[in-house]
């Protein structure tokens, strides 16, 4: 049976299906609840952070066609919170139910080679790179790009997993043996001044709203701090926003998209990665804006208007990664001016994102602070 197209905007009481059970799904579901929507979370793991706050759940594999058909029948629209959901899952769902964003954004976002080609075609500058399928191609790529360079897996890499910095020819054998699956990507090492990211929400009517770009600082390849707004010249912030909008438009994306970029000392931006979903570097928007990234995501997916974010504070967000930093939750919960978010994960493992805390600061504080990173809540 062909289902009638869903009402636009989706009325309150409608059900948003979310593929993926992590913290991004959890915070999307909480934002959806604020607008009167129900969320149905589909993930292979039971008791996932998103399932704990969802109205309905399906615990099933991403290739379980029967479970996916039942899920499609139970929801009004589908989105995803995790870009390593197999593209085949959306291929099964797309004929049955509206999917926002669609499969193309997912396919490109989960494959570094497709992503870099796509960004280049869209006119977005990226670091010089080569696709590497054999050891001989690695030698050739190193000869062309020089050292240092960064060797990365093409798929399933996140939080710096699946990459190695090559500083000398002696590093090639170990890195080649360690990294899989292949092909890999070799990138020139970029001596960036800062890392920044920008997030856009785009509606089905083509309207687009951006958040102010964020400066991101990493520890052990995992996001540690986000500083908002990024303390960069106004022209650089505007360029970062224009780039993320251009990427979303090129994709025809409906939903949310984040673009991570390197800022070079000469003011140029090079795109590093895109994610067609809410992004860790946008967590500060939940507390420092009237309409944060998760609500913006829900609005785009549900066909609601996309308002100006209405940023009312500067913010510094600290990720709580692993048991040591998570252990500070009682003192963070007691700190005035700090918003604490804990993800309900069943195990506090090393290297896992377990929560975050955002310190809210009066507008203008970040631009004038000698080191805004020192304003982090922890
Ligand atoms: P990625 O997995 O691509 O997001 O990379 C994780 C982190 O590694 C980035 O946020 C950077 O801090 C660093 N990194 C990645 N690629 C490069 C590069 N080409 N040059 C310098 N640093 C990089």
Mean pLDDT of 296-310: 98
pLDDT, tens digit, for every residue of 337-354?
A: 999 999 999 898 999 999
Question: According to the model, what pLDDT value does residue 158 have?
Answer: 59
Give the tens place of pLDDT for each residue, 286-297: 999 999 999 999
Q: Average pLDDT over the chain, rounded to whole?
A: 96
Q: Which of 110, 150, 194 to mutate to test the pocket of ligand 1 (most atoms within 8 A of CB)?
A: 150
Give per-residue pLDDT as tens, 182-216.
999 999 999 999 999 999 999 999 999 999 999 99
Q: What is the largest CA-CA distance in the chain?
A: 62
The residue among 226, 221, 216, 165 whose CA lies nearest residue 194 is 216
Does pTM top 0.85 for this prediction? yes
Atom of ligand 1 nearest to the CA of 159: 2
Which tops the pLDDT comparison, 3 or 309?
Answer: 309
Distance CA(36)–CA(359), nearest Å, equals 28
Contact 161, 154 (CB under 8 A): no
Percent of the chain with pLDDT over 90: 93
Contact between 78 and 277 under an 8 Å Cβ cutoff? The reply is no
Taking 90 as the threshold, does the pLDDT of residue 219 lie above it? yes
Tens digit of pLDDT for each residue in 120-171?
A: 999 999 999 999 999 999 999 999 999 999 999 998 765 566 899 999 999 9
Residue 275 pLDDT > 80, yes or no? yes
Is there an atom of ligand 1 within 6 Å of 195 CB? Answer: yes
Tell me which of 156, 163, 185, 220 to substitute to probe ligand 1's pocket, judged by most ligand atoms within 8 Å of the beta carbon: 163
Please choose from 112, 272, 275, 321 the residue to mutate so as to test ligand 1's pocket, defined by most ligand atoms within 8 A of CB: 272
Structure tokens belonging to residue 7? 């009402």
Quick one: pLDDT at residue 208? 98
Distance from C-alpha of 247 to C-alpha of 204, rounded to nearest angstrom: 15
pLDDT value at 234 more than 80: yes
* pLDDT at 156 (0 to 100): 74
Per-residue pLDDT at 51: 98
Determine if ligand 1 sits within 6 Å of the CB of residue 272: yes
d(CA 342, ligand 1 centre) in Å? 26
**pLDDT value at residue 157:** 62
Check whether 326 has a pLDDT greater than 80: yes
pLDDT at position 137, please? 98
378 has a pLDDT exceeding 90: yes
Task: Tell me: pLDDT of 2 over 70.
Answer: no
pLDDT for res 307 = 98
Assign 86 a pLDDT band (cuts: 50, 70, 90).
very high
Strand partners, 260: 197, 273
Is the CB of residue 288 less than 8 Å from the CB of residue 311?
yes
The CB of 273 under 6 Å from ligand 1? The reply is yes
| pLDDT of residue 333 exceeding 60 | yes
Q: What is the arithmetic mean of pLDDT over 366-376? A: 97
**For residue 5, what pLDDT is reported?**
65
Sheet containing strand 184-188, edge to edge, reads 129-132, 184-188, 149-153, 163-166
Residue written as token pair 């949310």: 256
Residue 7 banded pLDDT, cuts 50, 70, 90: confident
- Predicted confidence at residue 83, as pLDDT, reads 85
> Residue 3 — pLDDT band, cuts 50, 70, 90?
low
């Amino acid at each position: 049976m062909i289902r009638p197209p869903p009402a636009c905007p989706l009325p309150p009481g409608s059900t948003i299906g979310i593929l993926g059970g992590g913290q991004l799904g959890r915070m999307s579901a909480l934002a959806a609840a604020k607008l009167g929507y129900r969320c149905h979370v589909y993930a292979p793991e039971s008791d996932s952070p998103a399932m704990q706050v969802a109205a309905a759940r399906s615990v099933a594999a991403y290739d379980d066609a029967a479970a996916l058909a039942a899920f499609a029948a139970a929801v009004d629209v589908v989105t995803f919170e995790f870009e390593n959901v197999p593209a085949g899952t959306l291929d099964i769902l797309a004929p049955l139910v509206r999917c926002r964003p669609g499969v193309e954004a997912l396919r490109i976002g989960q494959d570094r080679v497709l992503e870099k080609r796509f960004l280049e075609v869209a006119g977005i500058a990226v670091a010089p790179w080569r696709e590497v399928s054999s050891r001989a191609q690695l030698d050739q790529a190193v000869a062309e790009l020089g050292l240092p360079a960064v060797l990365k897996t093409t798929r399933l890499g996140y939080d710096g997993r699946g990459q190695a910095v090559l500083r000398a020819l002696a590093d090639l054998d170990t890195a080649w043996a360690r990294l899989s699956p292949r092909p890999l990507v070799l990138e020139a090492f970029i001596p960036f001044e800062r890392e920044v990211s920008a997030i856009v929400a785009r509606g089905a009517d083509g309207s687009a709203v951006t958040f102010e770009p964020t400066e991101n600082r990493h520890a052990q390849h995992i996001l540690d701090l986000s500083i908002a707004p990024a303390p960069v010249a106004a022209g650089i912030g505007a360029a970062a926003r224009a780039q993320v909008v251009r990427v979303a438009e090129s994709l025809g994306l409906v939903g949310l998209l984040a673009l991570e970029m390197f800022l070079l000392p000469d003011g140029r931006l090079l795109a590093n990665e895109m994610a067609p979903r809410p992004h860790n570097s946008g967590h500060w928007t939940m507390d420092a804006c009237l309409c944060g990234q998760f609500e913006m995501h829900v609005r785009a997916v549900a066909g609601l208007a996309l308002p100006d974010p209405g940023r009312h504070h500067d913010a510094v967000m600290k990720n709580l990664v692993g048991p040591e930093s998570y252990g500070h939750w009682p003192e963070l919960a007691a700190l005035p001016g700090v918003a604490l978010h804990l993800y309900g994960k069943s195990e506090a493992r090393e290297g896992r994102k377990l929560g975050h805390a955002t310190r809210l600061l009066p507008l203008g504080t970040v631009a004038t602070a000698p080191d805004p990173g020192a304003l982090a809540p922890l």
